[in-house]
Structure 1
């Protein structure tokens, strides 16, 4: 049972505009600065300490710890609103109010360090950050660790991804785990999503800039909950953050607790973006979301081409033109040319000494391909290894702009230490200066950077469809769990659209023509359940078209589904088992429902439609995974809609006002 959220007499409390979320701040054990969060009057985060440890003499780490012995000097209270129009994403307008408190504190012993705690309460959750103000003796700030915790009042059931090491691609399964089993040596990626009594919460961060990315580890004292674990610097593992002091101080990212009564409702939240810095790009007219044909996932399945080595796709104009032709026929605005087009390529995280991303490999004429694509209404994106781009950024980006390239996919960063975190906005700012959109592959999970740099269209940090090529790990359960976890944080470059649908018993990992262990209807639904303003159609053109170039069943939905939305509603779900999401574009609503391995019927309320009668078109599961059933009907908002979801199945719907 969760404890009642009664505040101590000395605590300072704020509440969200709707009154459901409250945060109190005070002094806890050993006079540590603490916070507590409640939802609907019940504590969901018990009193938890916040603090920092500055790097110094390793023999006396306590000397650098700003945690205990704090004294509150003053408190500021206020209210504000985050009102903005996202360029892309789950909604076209955000207007979220919040209450705020700033607590100015000072440590009584040692160096009398000053520390500020900024706390906000939104209707969709709470957030706080620490600010180390400018003060004597801190011209340069070196942070060894952060002493912030999220203490749980009960043994919450959670979904989490324990990566176990700092250097990784942020790809894996979100597994069920009870809070009591989260160990101090674990490194859980963001978010950690848990269930409390009458509430669901997701722990993450926002506005990560020139700071170390955070993992979550078990508390060292054996209590329930987790603690912030900062990624160490590569050049000095004893330090996580090294930065000069500024007049505004040095701030941590926002520590975020997303809150909702039901877990699927977290999908609607804009809280991570609310807390991020506003857009730094004034002119965004050139930023255009859309779908892309893609040459990498399916392998060289191009009828009519001579393929001497079927294990590796040819990187030449003839291959790329086939994908461009397909994009034109399907009215896809983009074609993504993946690894292999440039001299020296630089795949698998390794950049060869002769790699040159301003020159093409033999058989590739990039200016001619750009012209060929433009004549068919298609823009080109190019892949690059991040190290190669970092080495040639000043030469490559102006060249791509001059050629007419629309975007770049940057790969293999696989870190979130302070230096890599700093690289990301530097890349995005440079790309924006040359009107280039960006897909961050091999990257950490979103922290709201797509609001600050709207040319960031999508981001990996997910175990997506590529794993079907070499493993059995991308199950229906995994897909559903992503909607409740990684998908909450921002755009996700999962790359759905696999049309070789088989049962798990039939599935075999293979590099060329990979299969998927979910139904075709689920693959369609993923384009609605997940958000990705730049979304690839992962499979080969021959998977989506017949020999006479007619769309196969289900491909008509892929041609129509948008990649950016005006409104998002979570309709129904069972944590980790199934979910149904509705998203509106203009006057049309699109609905995606995905299911785990247990067949079930679900009922969706239609009240979100509003008045009038609506024409319903749906794509649902057939008798086999690859079969899809389409039908049409008329519905209105007063009724409900029942969907029969197969094992590993799903449904995709389009509702149009009559």
Structure 2
């Protein structure tokens, strides 16, 4: 990537009290990090004189060595300012302004501590200056809040007997809204996590550039107003098991976190500070802090949409063959994709022989070569699902073989861990897949931390409580409220493989979990809006070709919505209540809006359109959508000169529109 870089030297703030303290301000001067050096290193954060974090210690303990941040001796301190443009690939905007002030503290104990102050947050990381590898025994990252604020907590989902067992989880969650002091001492939460402060401000805790190091969990052990880091220790031994023998289960762990190479750069710890919820719904800090692309050429990476069979249970009707995992069924999906200009078809779990963890054993009902040839003739790409262990055991051979066959990528599933070896797997898989020009969709995995910038062929991630949950849960699950909560929290980390697009739609009262004929909670227009609101460069159409052909008007909209964007603007929103986002691709604007279970009128300000006469193709909830969730109306309307549009959303409703110049 090409960057325009401006570096200005700044004067260091002089120490002002007993401990040495260095102040680092954001470019707009509103956000300040004060780093104190003494027996321990700590930092506090203020925003426009409001305390964001009280003094919060940080440290990294090495095996048989010093504790960085405890009794450490400063050897130099330097600051500089950066203002550059990042050319983003396969993202919600194609240009990112990357402006920050940086403080680099170098210590005699062979490490550095780097702080960055952006207008939207503070980040720091440890860096090893040693020419030898090190073993990290533990890391302390503390986030000490000034009051007992409320927080949106993504606990590890499931019933676990202890903390240790929670390191094996799917990273799919709902949010528990609670005060900090009432957080469970026995449950791990993972980032991003959002805390509501006074004056409408919020803090989002996140991490970026997680390479060769375990992911950060957060825990409150003592009913305080402080969150502490927690990490999965390094696995000693594993055994094959789990879902269909496709996972590696940790049977013992080491008393340390990571074995790191010389000159290792450790993950960024991020404290995002927002003054409005819309700032969380459109934030770039994780992407900006990730390592730049390692691919010299990513032109072969083609984002797009995917016709997908697993959610709809191979639900094709009115055909003269039995639908299921067989060649004729997949040919029908390919034909549907070609007819509707959908770029890919996925073969999800079932195409390889079950419980063999061997991707070279294709079930006899599938003629894979014939399917790939049929898809190629129709200008459709094939993506294959792969269980983690089946892929990991010999992934270069797998990538080479299927790339040569013409496969375009893999959806890898059931990793369910983020300890160091598993994080290493993600980077190795990305590198080898790129070598063979294969895209990767990491399913059953931890939240993105920027690898999609470092390896742009990593095109999507799950780590979201997606629409698949609707297959086996009923009204007891509130997916609608989750949908207008998650974009302010999980989506801060990066794209989501949520798998929207249901054509069967239900109200809060009528939803049921039905595996063979699943439905969504909320209205049809809510499903359309999600193609605009949810960031997803490789985006599924979860329902069956039969249902989409019955609803061709909606299918036409879905198939034309871009999956990557030139510009994004969060127009309006409040976490847990509603959200509206506008995104531009070329000359076309798309706008999506969703509400919770409250019917809502929203007024959109479309002044970003600028001069000229504009027309909107609008999909809005129908008059009876509160009772019949599939009810919607499509209409064409002129955008008024004052650029204000008032729209009504039904309960669990939404809207979607495409805007173009006359």
Q: TM-score, normalised by structure 1?
A: 0.90
Is 605-614 or 475-484 further displaced after alignment?
A: 605-614
Change (3 A) 1:299 1:132: same
Q: Of the candidates 350, 363, 369, which is equivalent to residue 340 of structure 1?
A: 350
For residue 503 of structure 1, what is the aligned residue in structure 2? 507
- 1:568 counterpart = 2:562: no
Deviation at 1:598, TM superposition (A): 1.0
Gaps of 5+ in 1: 1-5, 57-62, 107-112, 346-350
For residue 51 of structure 1, what is the aligned residue in structure 2? 59
What is the CA deviation profile of residues 343-402 of structure 1, one whole-angstrom value per residue up to 9, with x for unaligned ones?
Answer: x24xxxxx42xx431242102111111111122221111111111111231221111111
Is 93-102 or 32-41 further displaced after alignment?
A: 32-41
Deviation at 1:544, TM superposition (A): 1.0
What is the CA deviation profile of residues 192-242 of structure 1, one whole-angstrom value per residue up to 9, with x for unaligned ones?
Answer: 112223422210100000111110111x56531211111112216343433
Deviation at 1:314, TM superposition (A): 1.9
Kept after mapping to 2: 8 A contact 1:84/1:93: yes
For residue 159 of structure 2, what is the aligned residue in structure 1? none
Deviation at 1:188, TM superposition (A): 0.9
Is 160-169 or 530-539 further displaced after alignment?
A: 160-169
For residue 531 of structure 1, what is the aligned residue in structure 2? 535
Deviation at 1:637, TM superposition (A): 6.4
The whole-number CA distance in structure 1 between the counterparts of 2:37 and 2:265 is: 21
What is the CA deviation profile of residues 303-354 of structure 1, one whole-angstrom value per residue up to 9, with x for unaligned ones?
Answer: 244677xxxx621110101111110111101111111112x24xxxxx42xx
Kept after mapping to 2: 8 A contact 1:170/1:445: yes
Q: Of the candidates 301, 310, 314, which is equivalent to residue 296 of structure 1?
A: 310
1:380 aligned counterpart, secondary structure: strand
Kept after mapping to 2: 8 A contact 1:194/1:202: yes
Deviation at 1:609, TM superposition (A): 1.4
For residue 273 of structure 2, what is the aligned residue in structure 1? 259
The whole-number CA distance in structure 1 between the counterparts of 2:310 and 2:35 is: 51
What is the CA deviation profile of residues 41-90 of structure 1, one whole-angstrom value per residue up to 9, with x for unaligned ones?
Answer: 3221221111022345xxxxxx8644433443321111224532122010
Change (3 A) 1:147 1:469: same
The whole-number CA distance in structure 2 between the counterparts of 1:153 and 1:52 is: 24
- 1:239 counterpart = 2:243: no
For residue 3 of structure 1, what is the aligned residue in structure 2? none
The whole-number CA distance in structure 2 between the counterparts of 1:208 and 1:240 is: 17
1:425 aligned counterpart, secondary structure: helix
Is 270-279 or 605-614 further displaced after alignment?
A: 605-614
The whole-number CA distance in structure 2 between the counterparts of 1:603 and 1:171 is: 33
Q: Of the candidates 139, 145, 163, which is equivalent to residue 146 of structure 1?
A: 139
Is 551-560 or 411-420 further displaced after alignment?
A: 551-560
Kept after mapping to 1: 8 A contact 2:306/2:342: yes
- 1:319 counterpart = 2:329: yes
Change (3 A) 1:289 1:140: closer
Kept after mapping to 1: 8 A contact 2:314/2:324: yes
Change (3 A) 1:545 1:484: same
For residue 49 of structure 2, what is the aligned residue in structure 1? 41
CA RMSD of aligned residues (A): 2.0
Q: Of the candidates 514, 517, 520, which is equivalent to residue 513 of structure 1?
A: 517
Q: Of the candidates 120, 129, 133, which is equivalent to residue 133 of structure 1?
A: 129
Q: Of the candidates 533, 540, 546, which is equivalent to residue 542 of structure 1?
A: 546
2:520 aligned counterpart, secondary structure: coil
How many residues are aligned here? 617
The whole-number CA distance in structure 1 between the counterparts of 2:364 and 2:94 is: 44
What is the CA deviation profile of residues 435-489 of structure 1, one whole-angstrom value per residue up to 9, with x for unaligned ones?
Answer: 1111001010000110000001110011101111111335210111111111121
What is the CA deviation profile of residues 480-512 of structure 1, one whole-angstrom value per residue up to 9, with x for unaligned ones?
Answer: 111111112111000000111011221211111
The whole-number CA distance in structure 1 between the counterparts of 2:21 and 2:110 is: 19
Kept after mapping to 1: 8 A contact 2:80/2:102: yes
The whole-number CA distance in structure 1 between the counterparts of 2:16 and 2:469 is: 51
What is the CA deviation profile of residues 240-272 of structure 1, one whole-angstrom value per residue up to 9, with x for unaligned ones?
Answer: 4332541x2x33200011222112212221110
1:497 aligned counterpart, secondary structure: coil
For residue 240 of structure 2, what is the aligned residue in structure 1? none
Kept after mapping to 2: 8 A contact 1:53/1:64: yes
In the TM superposition, 1:587-626 aligns within 5 A as: 587-622=587-622, 623=624, 624-626=628-630
2:505 aligned counterpart, secondary structure: coil
Is 426-435 or 636-645 further displaced after alignment?
A: 636-645
What is the CA deviation profile of residues 99-124 of structure 1, one whole-angstrom value per residue up to 9, with x for unaligned ones?
Answer: 00012245xxxxxx454210001122
The whole-number CA distance in structure 2 between the counterparts of 1:7 and 1:317 is: 72
Kept after mapping to 2: 8 A contact 1:75/1:103: yes
- 1:583 counterpart = 2:597: no
The whole-number CA distance in structure 2 between the counterparts of 1:399 and 1:116 is: 44
Q: Of the candidates 270, 278, 291, which is equivalent to residue 277 of structure 1?
A: 291
Deviation at 1:523, TM superposition (A): 0.5
